[in-house]
Structure 1
Amino acid sequence: MRIRKLNIHNFRNLKSTSLLDLSDFNFIHGLNGSGKTSILESVHTLALTRSFRSRKMQTVISFDQDALTVRGELGTIKHGDTGGLSCANSAENVSSIGVRRSRRDLVLVKVNGEKLGSVGQLAGVLPVQVINPASFELLEGSPGVRRQFLDWGVFHVKHSGFFELWPRYRKALQQRNSLLRRGNIGASVLAPWDAELASTAGLITAARRQHFEELATAFDGVYRKLLLNSVSSTGEAAGAVPALSFEFYGGWKDFDTVAYGEFLQSEQEQDIRAGFTRHGPHRADVDLKCGRLRAGEVLSRGQIKTIVCALKLAQSKVLLAQGIPTVFLIDDLAAELDEARCRAVFSELVDLDVQVFATALKASDLHNDWCGSKTLKRFHVEHGFVSTVM
């Protein structure tokens, strides 16, 4: 599936604009503040009802307007097709998504013209993967950033049950922590929430572990290809990159051998004294190491950025193998990586057969030959106005 048409209204400085006949690769250039990143944000809002830059959508709505609207038409693209929808049966191959956000924080979502009963029903309809400067926190940021990255993949895996399990766990954790903050409570008061946490923790951890193992395998192949494709132009010897180890931590000590319910019982007194649940799936982490040190602490900026791109690409490769395509939103990659590494990243995107929206300051920062045989369309953004570049 591809986004074939995008209508944007009152999204930051994009008052009213339409991007038509979108292709496999869509390159958008313009000066800082012109609105090019806002196009990527609008696609993210179409998929998740929020921007990747801010959860406060009131700040995203054009300052003199009461609401923003984003609408996208989806369809299939045949290789070499540069125009209309290729659909033998439009009901099967074409759909539409519309999202409206108001200053009063009201959310309206429609799929195929029908209003959804809850925002959660939109989840997973249009998976989007973001590569922007903030993405590099994946190695240098907190465990929460890496946990969110892993859970994005688990969430989209068919039959993982993660969409239902994680809210259950979070609700039980909130209730248990509320009780723990009171202090001086007995085990019987905690028992119902301990049971709920124990029943969901094992399933959540198993789903995360399975996705992690598939991700680790895919990452190894993608990372090696990125290095091979970029090393000759950068002058950086392949052997200069230390061997990496990829590790998953479930969130509690000996999680491989000790069930979470048993662990909670052994840690109950310490949790009561601390006033919160100190360990569990909410403390899970994924770590990349060079020897005993975290990769983010010892590698160069270029190496870190290459690894993060490899992680994002590998995750989408795992999902694509399960029939789940991803839309990539890439914000000014040329400002983060040299041309050789950018070329290597785009070579992987071509092989993944995904749709790409990429921005840059100058048109020359995004090269036509990066797209291989994929269809390409270019746009220029200036002061919130979008024009097609012929």
Structure 2
Amino acid sequence: MRLEKLGIYNFRNLQHVDMRELCSFNFIHGINGSGKTSILEAIHTLALTRSFRSRKMDTVISYEKEDLTVRGELRTRFRPHNTIIGVRRPRKGAVLVKVDGDKLSTAGQLAGVLPVQVINPASFELLEGGPGVRRQYLDWGVFHVKHSGFFEYWPRYRKALQQRNSLLRRGNIDASLLAPWDRELEAMGALIHDARGKHFALLAAAFESIYSRVLASVAASGVDAPPLTMSMTAGWKDGEQSLGDSLSVNLAGDIRAGFTRSGPHRADIEFRVGKLAAGDVLSRGQIKTLVCALKLAQSRVLLDQGISTVFLVDDLAAELDERRCKAVFKELVELDVQVFASSVRRSDLNDDWCMSRALKRFHVEHGVVSEC
């Protein structure tokens, strides 16, 4: 899958951008505030109808404009013609999404058409942030796996969780009122945990391989990667009791807390070096390398199932030294994914990192984009 054309209109300081004949690697340069990151942000909006920088999309719309539009043309391996996606976000009213001219009834129907992964400064919260960040990372991969059922299971689980929590906040209630929601939580929770577990097993294997290669590439003496392990926790004492039993045993505590403390919504991924939390042992450079390897591993797992992703890499040179950047790009070449990468200086993104893959460079100045 390749994004071949990109049109951006009224997106921050990008009034009218037309990018054509996009390549495997697309490097975008410009000083801070020029609009280079906004191009990556626009691609993310094309894929998911939302920005990776701001939750309030009205702040993304250009000053004194009523809406923004992003349009893209995708070439896919299994379709005889390109897929055309259009996303329009007005200041007021609902988002409008079209695929090949057909209006989608919900923005959620767009999910999966253009899978994107972001590597930017916020990505490094994956290790140091809360469990919710890691669940989001894991579920991104589970969601894109064909026939995982996650798209069906999660909304049902979330609805049951909301209903149960609403009852818990009442205080001392009859357990019979909770029973139907407990049954739904147990049924959907087991399916979610199973889908996550299958994906995690593949993810852990891919991560171990990629992380070892990246670390070996940057090590001066080619030393082995540190003995880092990753494991997934269910969100309850899985193996000791079922989710239904956990909900029953912890009911009194849930009533006191006013929310449900057991279930997939409490799952996490743990990273350890020996018995210590990896975040307490690894250097900043190692943490950032680890996170990049995690992102790459997601794409490896999906690629093995015939699903290609697009990478949006924002100013990696500001986060990693040249050796680590080169190692990350080597893996991107190996994955054969499409990459859009930004940097302040042209020299921050080396032609050699693309290993003879098709490359195009763009310069951004005051919201005006030109090839360079």
TM range (shorter): over 0.9
Aligned partner of 1:367 in structure 2 is 350
Regions of 4+ moved over 3 Å? none
* Aligned length, in residue pairs: 372
How far did residue 93 of structure 1 move?
3.8
Aligned partner of 1:320 in structure 2 is 303
TM-score by length of 1: 0.93
Answer whether contact 1:58 1:105 (CA < 8 A) is retained: no
Residues of 1 paired with 2:280 and 2:213: CA distance? 23
SS in 2 for 1:182: coil
Aligned partner of 1:226 in structure 2 is 214
Which consecutive residues of structure 1, in runs of 5 or more, have no partner in the other structure? 78-88
Residues of 1 paired with 2:93 and 2:271: CA distance? 38
CA distance 1:105–1:41, change in 2 (3 Å): farther
Answer whether contact 2:8 2:70 (CA < 8 A) is retained: yes
1:293 to 276, 282, 287: 276
Aligned partner of 1:116 in structure 2 is 104
SS in 2 for 1:27: strand
Aligned partner of 1:147 in structure 2 is 135
How far did residue 228 of structure 1 move?
1.6
SS in 1 for 2:80: helix
Aligned partner of 2:223 in structure 1 is 238
Residues of 2 paired with 1:227 and 1:38: CA distance? 31
Residues of 2 paired with 1:125 and 1:363: CA distance? 31
Answer whether contact 2:7 2:18 (CA < 8 A) is retained: yes
Answer whether contact 2:15 2:367 (CA < 8 A) is retained: yes
How far did residue 257 of structure 1 move?
4.2
Residues of 2 paired with 1:353 and 1:371: CA distance? 10
1:379 to 351, 362, 369: 362
Answer whether contact 1:154 1:160 (CA < 8 A) is retained: yes
Answer whether contact 1:57 1:105 (CA < 8 A) is retained: no
How far did residue 256 of structure 1 move?
2.8
Within 5 A, what are the aligned runs for 1:283-362?
283-362=266-345
Answer whether contact 2:5 2:72 (CA < 8 A) is retained: yes
Aligned partner of 1:94 in structure 2 is 82
State the one-letter code of the partner of 1:360.
S
How far did residue 373 of structure 1 move?
2.7
SS in 2 for 1:364: helix
SS in 2 for 1:220: helix
Name the % identity.
66
Work out whether 1:211 is the aligned partner of 2:194: no
What's the CA shift string for 1:338-370, capped at 9, x where partnerless? 111100000000000100000000111101111
What's the CA shift string for 1:79-131, capped at 9, x where partnerless? xxxxxxxxxx9x63411100000111520000001100111110111100000
Answer whether contact 2:246 2:262 (CA < 8 A) is retained: no
Answer whether contact 2:161 2:260 (CA < 8 A) is retained: yes
How far did residue 242 of structure 1 move?
3.0
Which consecutive residues of structure 2, in runs of 5 or more, have no partner in the other structure? none
SS in 2 for 1:334: helix
State the one-letter code of the partner of 2:180.
P
TM-score by length of 2: 0.98
Residues of 1 paired with 2:101 and 2:285: CA distance? 45
State the one-letter code of the partner of 1:238.
V
Aligned partner of 1:249 in structure 2 is 233
2:174 to 165, 186, 208: 186
How far did residue 279 of structure 1 move?
1.5
SS in 2 for 1:343: helix
What's the CA shift string for 1:305-357, capped at 9, x where partnerless? 00000000011000000000000000000110011110000000000010000
